[in-house]
Structure 1
Amino acid sequence: MSALAWLGVLLLAGVAGAALVVWRFVRARNMQIWLPAWLRRGARPAHGGPTHVMFCFVDHYEPMHGRPDLETQRARVDRWCRDYRALADRHRDADGRKPQHGFFYPEEEYLEEHLAKLEALCRDGYGELEVHLHHDNDTEANFRASISGFKQLLHERHGALPRHPGTGEVMFGFIHGNWCLDNSRPDGRWCGLDNELILLRELGCYADFTMPSAPSDTQTSTVNSIYYATDDPLRPKSHDRGVPVRVGGTPSGDLLLVQGPVGLNWRDRRHGFVPRVENADIRANYPPTPGRVDGWVEAGIHVEGRPEWIFIKIHTHGAPEKEADVVLGPDVDAMFSHLERKYNDGERYVLHYVNAREVYNIVKAAEAGHGGDPNDYRDFILPPPPNRVAPAAPAA
């Protein structure tokens, strides 16, 4: 074989080896699930006027994570109720609003004294309580009983969760434990219900906030979207695809899903050239750098036809000490400062700190054709829960 032929063989071998390395990198992070959709994404349509940035921080808030003793649980909750006040008080959006924290509290970890403390924090304007659930090999009857009982408990004992003004039903936002919404884990663990989207709708869930879950294999192929999913009760992971919410559209399917940003983070490369997976997760090993914040904005998640309103939903598991050090510390403090400095100039960008319920309301306002200032639509359909409503002034 000639030298030129050998060179060709070596080049082909090098290309094949590089391709194998890339494929292993992709499979190790389950990127084959979502990467094609991310690569096909188009640019956010141009628009006149400023971009309004709705920033929503949701928390899989689990004070019993790791099964600590009661004193450790109390210390975790007390730290949050003390330090989050100090953190949020240093920041304001364009509407004069503090950052809002969504405490998605696990039904199976309920302890009245923990919720009473979080209720007081929410009553003072720092966030709202919502529903979180870890379950495994569940039944429809048990799921209905668990969710129905918990939402009533949160509403009646802790003043959380709004009532729908038309039906009077207690409504809730939802995050599934272990990312396994609609039985989406391939081995069937940590759920068990192929009709979970239907059940959530029937039980009063106004929207799901579980995604993204990358690098988990529960991640959907749909990314960076706000959409309606229709449940196939005979198959899992029915929310893998759906119908985008659009201006002038009508609700469809069984459940509204609000996703956070996912993609490749080229600003934070490992070894100088390997991009990290952006999954909207704030953790001790993945703090919110200014580059990540810029990437969230660039993801441009919006209701179709309303590109000037973008939604950033990030998440965390903020109760354990290691994660609390980040979420209550200088990294998140700097994140808020970066948002307020770069994305709140009133000309190119206007920043709005919103909770999950307000995200739903603003999305529905966009769907109904409303525009302008999204601050006008924070309570568009669902009102604040009782613990966020100022008491009436006493009669003279």
Structure 2
Amino acid sequence: MARPPLPLGTWGAITRAQTAPGQWRARAKYRDWDGRTRTVERFGASGAKAEAALKVALRDRARPAAAPADVTRDTNLADLGTIWLDTKRRQNLAPKTIELYEQTIRTHVTPAVGELRVGEVTIGGLERFLDTKTGTVKKRCRLALSGMMGIAAKHDAVDRNLVRDTTPAAVQRKKPRAISAAELTILRARVAAYAGTHGGDGKPTGPPRAVDLPELFEVFIGTGGRINEVLPLEWSDVLWDSNQVVLNRTKGGENMLVLTLPQFAIDALKVQRARMLPGGLVFPSRAGTARLAANVRRQLREARKYVVRDARGKADGPAGMFEWVTPHSFRRTVATVLAEELGEERAAGQLGHSGPDVTRAHYIERKAVAPDSSAELQRRLAPSPPFTHPK
């Protein structure tokens, strides 16, 4: 019965032989990656040295030649991170996503493990590095390292992606929360009171703040658009005849999304147009340039705690009641309302998602009140005769 072949990338017993005074040969059969078994030998001043040299040669031979990207066991993680980032830039990813990946490599991965070579990476070493991170930072570092070591594995620089054997980051996903109608009324009043004032006490200490902040937020509420989709809006994107607006997408999928606006959003755009601000942007900065998302987020943080009082001096609520509200909260609110009224497919379509799964997981608030199924339960499960209390 024929002896079974060696597994690919392995070798048989090593034999030693003295070939001359002071010279030894170590030899072994090695099954190459093309399936052929070849003899590999190395020489040394002693049998032990010859065998040690042979083992190094066999180990290196077990790593097939690198792919054109030139990723080998000697590639350091800093260079591998650059290669991984290049592959991500060629994909249809949002600029913000690429920016986060670059920041993760630059700020966390490269300073800590960038000098390590691919062949030196171990599960324990990866685990120790990831243990120095928490939350979303740990999750991003693990994602980046997994992508990097995945490239190394595809180029046969390592046997497998070792990052997959590390402990995943425990990130608690927040449940989507929508703004209720009552909360939205209070928030609108706070934004309106905040807009155009100069300081927290209303005294003129500088140029007035964004007077068009209420109109900007009405467009957020009327579209469900992301902040970086709404801020670059130009008047040429507003289709007055059909009450529609064209959003330029910041994430994957179609580059544009045409949305039909509710009347309150159309009214807000008309108010903004009447201001006759220079340039083609709908909501420009004071300098006439595109508004920065960071500035709008800061203004919302200030406006949401701007307490409004009635004629008798009664506050509309605590200053911190909207501490959880961000520009993305309007997007979740739109998704929740549409899902309740028209179904999850319509909500996903409004947000530009290809299907309702992402919308359901990240945007639609789940209510604690179950739908009224009492009639069906009564019809199918009621006792006969009807249940009565004993007298």
| TM-score for both structures, normalised by structure 2 | 0.22
Which of the pair has the greater relative contact order for Cα pairs under 8 Å at 6+ separation? 1
Larger Rg: 2
| TM-score for both structures, normalised by structure 1 | 0.22
Q: Which has the higher strand share?
A: 1
